[in-house]
A = this chain, B = another copy of it.
Amino acid sequence: MKMNRILTVLGLSTIFSVAANAQYSDVPPKESPMKMKPEMTEIWEPEVKVITPGKLPWDAPSDAIVLFDGKNLDNWVSQKDPKKPAPWKIINNEYMEVVPGSGGIQTKMKFGDCQLHIEWSAPDVVESVGQGRGNSGVFLQNRYEIQILDSYNNRTYANGQAGSVYKDHPPLVNAMKSPLEWNTYDIIYRAPRFKPDGRLDSPATVTVLHNGVLVQNNVTINGLTLYIGLHNYPEAHGEDVISLQDHGNKTQFKNIWIRRL
C-alpha cells in the first residue's frame, strides 16, 4: 500500500490515489537503497520508568511488593480458610516455617505475570527420602507449581525435584544447597491467556533461576499441576493468589518479593 494512513483518515485518499503514480517512482532504483540516519532507529518515547534496585541482589527493588520481610504474615492467609490468618510460624523475625498439618498459605493479593523472588531452606533435620524430604512448593496463580524439595543428595523423579515445574519439566541442573543453607528462586512468570469463550489462547511460560543458576529456560507450562494424570488447562482464570504448600515438612521461607510485569 502506498497510501499514507493519515491521508486516509483525513478523507484525502482519493486525491492521494490519483496522485500516486506521479508522486512516486514505480521503477526499481538505479542506485543503492537510500541510506537511513542514525536518529531514525532511536525510540525516545515513552521514557523508561526509573526504579531503585536493591542494594544486594536479594533485596527488593523499589517497585516490588514485599510479600514477606520476616516480621509478620500480614500479606498471607490460610488456604484452608482464607478468612483466617496464615497458620505458619515466624522465627527470629527473620523467616517463616511450615507448621505441618496446618495447611498451605496464600497471598491476599492476586497476581498474573510477575517476577518473583523467594528464599527457602529445607528442614534442618533431614528425614525420609525422595518426595518425603523437605517437600513444599510455590504455586503460581494458585495452580502451577515450582517444586520445592530437599534435593541435596536425594534422588527422586527428575520432574519432581527442586527447580522442576512439578510433573512437567525437570530442572536443567540440580543447583541445590544443603539443608543448612538458604536457596533462592528467581522466577519470571507469564500467565496463561484465555479467549473470551474460555479456551486457552496461550499457555503459561516460566524461567527459573535457582541460586542464580538457570534451571527453567522459558519453558511452556503444560497446564494445571496434577499429581495424577495429564496436565491441561481445564478452565479460564484471571489473576490469582500465590500459594505455598504444606506437604508435611518444616520447610522455611524468607525474603519474598514480587514485581508485576
Contact = CB atoms under 8 A, between A and B. Distances in A.
A248 interface: yes
Nearest to A129: B26
A170 B214 contact: no
A93 interface: no
Interface string A42-60: 1111111111111001110
A228 interface: yes
Copies in the assembly, this chain:
4
Given A34-B39, A42-B157, A174-B49, A213 B17 contact: no
B229 A41 contact: yes
A104 interface: yes
Interface residues of A, number: 115
A51 B130 contact: no
B51 A213 contact: yes
A172 to B, nearest CB: 7
A132 interface: yes
Interface string A75-116: 000011000000000000000000011111000000000010
Contacts of A173: 48-51, 63
A228 B48 contact: no
Contacts of A158: 43-48
A259 B231 CA distance: 30
A122 to B, nearest CB: 14
B49 A42 contact: no
- Please indicate which of the listed interface residues A57, A190, A218 has the most CB atoms of chain B within 10 Å of its own CB: A57
A65 interface: no
A233 to B, nearest CB: 13
A37 B227 CA distance: 9
Contacts of A102: 14
A92 to B, nearest CB: 21
Given A17-B248, A39-B34, A41-B229, A171 B48 contact: yes
Contact of A128 (B26, B230, B245): B26
A228 B4 contact: yes
Nearest to A215: B48
Given A28-B44, A48-B170, 7 more contacts: A3-B247, A26-B133, A41-B226, A44-B157, A44-B158, A48-B158, A61-B212
17 contacts: A1-B137, A1-B145, A17-B248, A26-B131, A26-B132, A33-B42, A34-B39, A36-B36, A41-B167, A41-B231, A42-B160, A48-B172, A54-B212, A61-B213, A188-B218, A193-B193, A214-B261
